[in-house]
Amino acid sequence: MAAMQTEPAPSATEDVAMPAHHHDMTAGTMRSTVDYPLPPVTLIRDDGTEVSLVDELNDGRPVVLTFIYTTCTTICPMISQTFEELQDKLGGDRDRVHMVSISIDPEQDTPARLRAYAARFDAGPEWQYYTGTVEASIAAQRAFNVYRGDKMNHTAVAFFRSAPGKPWLRIDGLATPAELLDAYHEVVASN
């Protein structure tokens, strides 16, 4: 196991980088365990309801989270397909998990567009999509250290957390549905 890495506290304009444990999952992915403070922002769920990101993620369910945008033709459809397969593999646990996809292109990704995108991937009621203001989207991206300044520079990443107050397991790279399912079971077992 790698030693705990610490980085200086970020300024208000830097991406948040928190202490993390890193180790390889497969040749194409990297895992780390990180404490991410959630920003107090309002997002708009795909049903059009304004919600607090903190309240949505702290509803008591385990969370599986990623960032996407609906006009992406490369990484996002692959991530969403993997989440669709994960949703199926969760079986009976599916209803107890909160799957979250947050748009990094809120100017284009309206709730209606997110609903149509969700339908492409057979998103069940446990898998919700969120948009909001550009500022709220950037704040969420910065909180999870995925903000890259331009949606074209985004990378594949998934986050898992067993319960409010617990650290997040971050998986960078295109993980398989089986790897995500194993990560989910690992996180839930650690609670």
CA distances from 90 to 5, 61, 63, 97, 161 (A): 32, 14, 13, 9, 15
Segment 69-100, tens digit of pLDDT: 999 988 999 999 999 999 999 998 999 999 99
Mean pLDDT, range 163-175, rounded to an integer: 94
Q: Is the dihedral of CA 29, 124, 141, 18 positive or negative?
A: negative
Q: Which residue has 């709730």 as its token pair?
A: 111
What's the pLDDT score for residue 119?
A: 97
Separation CA 108–CA 15 (nearest Å): 23
Under DSSP, is residue 53 helix (H, G, I), strand (E, B) or coil? helix
What's the pLDDT score for residue 27?
A: 53
Would you say residue 12 has pLDDT above 70?
no
Segment 36-61, tens digit of pLDDT: 999 999 999 999 999 999 999 999 99
Burial environment of residue 71 by CB neighbours within 10 A (0 to 12, 13 to 18, 19 or more): exposed
Strand partners, 127: 99
Burial environment of residue 47 by CB neighbours within 10 A (0 to 12, 13 to 18, 19 or more): exposed
What's the pLDDT score for residue 45?
A: 97
Segment 100-132, tens digit of pLDDT: 999 999 999 999 999 999 999 999 999 999 999
Percent of the chain with pLDDT over 70: 86
- pTM here is 0.84
What's the pLDDT score for residue 155?
A: 87
What's the pLDDT score for residue 149?
A: 84
